[in-house]
Amino acid sequence: MATFLHRVAHWAFRRRRTVVLVWVAVLAAVFLGAVNSSEAPEDSASLPGIESQQAFDLLDERFPGTEADGAEARVVFVAEDGQQVTSTDNRSAVDTLVDEVADGPQVAEATSPFDAHAVSEDASTAYATITYRATADDLTEASKEALTDAVERARDAGLTVEVGGSALETEPAQGIGEVLGILVAAVVLLLTFGSLAAAGLPLLTAVLGVGISLATITALGSVLGFSSTVGELAMMLGLAVGIDYSLFVVSRYREERGKGHPAQEAAALAVGTAGSAVVFAGLTVVIALLGLSVVGVPTLTRMGVGSAGTVLVGVLIALTAVPALLGFWPDAVLPRRDREGRRRTRSRRPGRFGRNRNSKGTTPTRTAGTPWGVRWARFVTRRPVAVLLLTVVGLGALAVPSLNLRMGMPGAESKPTTTTERRAYDALAAGFGPGFNGPLTVVVDVKGADDPAAAVTGVSDRLAGTEGIVSVSPPHFNAAKDTAVVSAVPSTGPASERTQDLVRTIRDERPAIESATGAEFRVTGTTALNIDVGQKMQDALVPYLAVVVGLAFLLLMVVFRSILVPVKAALGFLLSVGAALGAIVTVFQEGHGAGIFGVEETGPIMSTMPIFLVGIVFGLAMDYQVFLVSRIREAHIHGEQPGQAVVTGFRHSAQVVGAAALIMMAVFGGFMTGGESMVKMVGFGLASAVFFDAFVVRMAFVPAVLALLGKRAWWLPGRLDRLLPRVDVEGEALTRRAPAPYDASGDDDRRESVTV
């Protein structure tokens, strides 16, 4: 692997114009494809294999011509100053709104609260239901404006009017996540490298990779079903891994130049060594992302495929575009003192036909104190037991809240109070009870019943008698009279654990109800759907972990030629993910410190969050594992004792790994500036997981374990050693064949540095 990548980098350095032009041409081609592509689809809510989806499918089949996902607006009226909505003036304003909206071009039905008995007991609150023939995405601006104009006129009449539902759902406030992440990354890179060029190169290549990936996802959106969510995730991951992969190559290039290698050979050695780590780190990320397909949720599968493609683009750019750009400006990425030293050396040259014999052929060496990574590694290797215990106990304590994890999907209750949806939600809960916002839709199939009407009545009566049900609506039959829909309102809110227990109770009692009535029924609706999705995610978590960790274990065993090192990597990953999940539960479910992060409403954790966090963080954690431990193994196979190899590995990689982690945290944390709770949760979870993995697991847990294991860490049975392929991530073959460093300011180097 190292030898092959060494040749690739040599070629890219020599043919730098060609390489850059090819990448620019690829960007232009996919950009044209994106411009001419069809509009990206919205995320599909289809989740095969769960009861709620089966009920939705039955509704589509038995109620033809009506869309189960058609747009709906629930207009909530609240009388002010202790008045009643049933008063003459208020009633007139409500009726006027309903009449005006009913004439809309896409409106299927507009039901007055006074006809549907949708008035609270104290007559302070009422609601009108507006249903549309089109989905929320297909509503025209004219339809939306007609509704908003009618609402404003009702408000002018003295009523408090808010609108819930999907028809006028507001977009969450856009944060400055991308910009903030790039700015922080630029500062971290500048402080790490001390060079604008060295800081700018990883940013430039990351933006190039993200641009190509986003344009490709947009161009293939209509064909492969890539939605805007896929693009958002790809952008977040593309920025993070794109900067990090280029960062490691540039850092190794600077190191090789410091040893006296000419620019072209230094670039080739950097790609052959750090680039090999990039390849295998990228493969672990790809495995984790593609592994999302085992969950069985189409949306997650598409998100995984799109993001995996983005990571692959980032790897290819790090292996080809980075050495090509280094060929244009080979000295620009070096530290200022080294650049000045090289200029002074050139100024002492005797002329074109001679060479200064007094030059020792190396760039000036800097005298500096011991790097913090070395000091820290020495501290850990001298006290491995104490550090290991403190790390495990600390992360374990942070993970304890994750045992109380409750999963669901955020609704209007998680939106900021500045939105009309949230205010409508609160008004309905105050006027009709907390369960009113999460009714259960029961689809009753009476195709095989002798008396369909009696069978539906029997199901309704049994539902009404269930503890936790406040009311049951009259049944609504289809044209064939073989299917009916009943709405049951629970006494608790949609995110309540008691509501989840209620749904399970109804389903557990279903065999007895169906036997007594002769009818079959399924429970669905938004509340039941969220419960089913959460259960599906929970059931898929263990198989997903087994697939991802198993494949990554094999990959790491090939990379490090060890059994214990991959085991250590897996255990460290579980510690960091457990701590991150515990932090999420603490803030977003239990509400501790929620105000600091702008979380206005706590509740269940988004159903897809745990498995999503596991997939993304596993791949990113293996990045640090490969980059850090490969340098430790490189020192070990070159003859150093295990403890000293840990110190050497930290000398060369700790600062860069720390900078890479800070960049990822900035990119992920920047998404917390958005207005949507779900986006904040994703950003917080990923940023905290990166912190725990990079600064606790990799910087403390890993060196402590390696120090305790000693040479046993690199043990591999002889038979397995012969079976596994040799990939040479450490570049041992390059060390044997690489030419000895020579005068970095000589004529050969000067020819490589010609301005083009």
What pLDDT sits at residue 80?
83
Average pLDDT over residues 108-121: 86
Task: Give yes or no for residue 357 having a pLDDT over 50.
Answer: no
pLDDT(318) > 70: yes
pLDDT class of 22 with cuts at 50, 70, 90:
very high
pLDDT digits (tens, 9 = 90+) for 568-581: 888 888 898 899 99
Q: Which stretch, 18-27, 612-621, 668-677, has highest mean pLDDT? A: 18-27
Q: Tell me what pLDDT residue 753 has.
A: 36
Instruction: For residues 444 and 450, give the distance between their C-alpha atoms in angstroms, rounded to a whole number.
Output: 14
Output the pLDDT for position 78: 92
CB count within 10 Å of CB 60 equals 14
Overall average pLDDT of the 239-253 stretch: 85
* pLDDT in the model for residue 583: 92
- Residue 601 — pLDDT band, cuts 50, 70, 90? low
Phi/psi zone of residue 46: left (φ > 0), alpha (ψ -120 to 50 degrees), beta? beta
What CA–CA distance (Å, rounded) separates 325 from 13?
8
pLDDT at position 290 over 90: no
What pLDDT band is residue 208 in, cutting at 50, 70 and 90? Answer: very high
pLDDT in tens, 456-507: 999 999 998 899 998 888 888 888 888 999 989 898 888 788 888 999 999 9
Q: Which residue, 146, 555, 601, is CA-closest to 416? A: 601
State how far the Cα of 705 lies from the Cα of 700, in Å rounded to an integer. Answer: 9
Q: Among residues 341, 228, 206, 224, which one has the least CA distance to residue 660?
A: 206
Nearest to 481, CA basis, from 63, 22, 18, 13? 63
**Mean of the per-residue pLDDT values of the chain:** 81
Torsion 356-358-360-364 (CA) sign: negative
pLDDT digits (tens, 9 = 90+) for 622-661: 777 877 888 888 788 777 888 888 998 888 788 888 888 8
Element (H, E) at 655: helix 642-670
Worst-scoring range by mean pLDDT, 201-210, 448-457, 601-610? 601-610
pLDDT over 60 at 76, yes or no = yes
Write the burial class of residue 748 (CB in 10 Å: 0-12 exposed, 13-18 middle, 19+ buried): middle
Region class of 591: left (phi > 0), else alpha (psi between -120 and 50), else beta: left
Per-residue pLDDT at 178:
61
Supply the pLDDT for residue 356: 42
Does pLDDT of 397 surpass 90? yes
Distance in angstroms (rounded) separating the CA atoms of residues 683 and 123: 43
Long-range contact pairs involving 566-573 (C-beta distance under 8 Å, separation at least 24): 568/701, 568/702, 568/705, 568/706, 568/713, 569/621, 569/622, 569/625, 569/629, 572/621, 572/625, 572/693, 572/697, 572/698, 572/701, 572/702, 573/549, 573/617, 573/618, 573/621, 573/622, 573/693, 573/697
Q: Compute the distance between CA of residue 743 and CA of residue 348 in angstroms, rounded to an integer.
A: 13
